[in-house]
Amino acid sequence: MMLLEVVTKIVGEPKEKPILCLHWNHAWIPLFLNNEKYQSLKKVCDETELYDLTRGSTVVDKWCVDYFTKRGANEKMGVDVANTIDLAIIDDHVIQVFYPLHIKQELDTIFSSVKNISELDTGELFEKVFMKPARITIHVIRDKHLAEQLRQETLEYFKESKK
């Protein structure tokens, strides 16, 4: 949710629709949205041109990716990104999110065990991943050239689907 807040502040009141690029190990943000966070996420989806690359391709990833696709996002799953960090690129900002290894491993275990979205035990996921004490580091870098390079690399994944 911290990432959503950072992106929301950077987007602010855009004059034109900025491109937001996301690289995820797993897509999970839509799983635990209260009304306030839903409205924030909806605003980000409405006010950006979203390009999302997700490394995971589990049933849970697909459910989350479908959430974004229905809101106009451009999505690709099973892409070799986000091996060590999750990433967001917006305007001239690069946002890096570093999760502890034990959190990523637990998320991998839970996501890969679900064969049907109805099997997802959200209580277990919440307890084993989101409620575990963990230091999550977020770096926000303002570098126009780096942001542009990463944005272009992300958009390359979508060139075939635009033809």
The per-residue pLDDT of the chain, averaged, comes to: 87
Percentage of residues of the chain with pLDDT beyond 70: 89
Please tell me which residue, 22 or 129, carries the higher pLDDT value: 22
Instruction: Tell me the mean pLDDT in the region 132-144.
Output: 91
Burial label for 103, CB within 10 Å (0-12, 13-18, 19+), is middle
Please tell me which residue, 20 or 33, carries the higher pLDDT value: 20
DSSP string, 79-100: -S--SS-EEEEETTEEEEEE--
> What does the DSSP 8-state code read for residue 72?
T
Let me know: does 122 contact 31? Beta carbons within 8 Å.
Answer: yes
**Closest residue by Cα to residue 157 from 59, 20, 52, 86:** 52
pLDDT for 53? 97
Q: Give the pTM.
A: 0.86
Range name among 10-19, 24-33, 54-63 with the lowest pLDDT average:
10-19
The encoded tokens of residue 137 equal 């580091």
Structural domain boundaries in the chain: 2-7+17-153
Give tens-digit pLDDT for 68-93: 899 899 999 999 998 889 999 998 99
63: pLDDT strictly greater than 80: yes
CATH domain 2-7+17-153 topology: Endonuclease; Chain A (3.30.870)
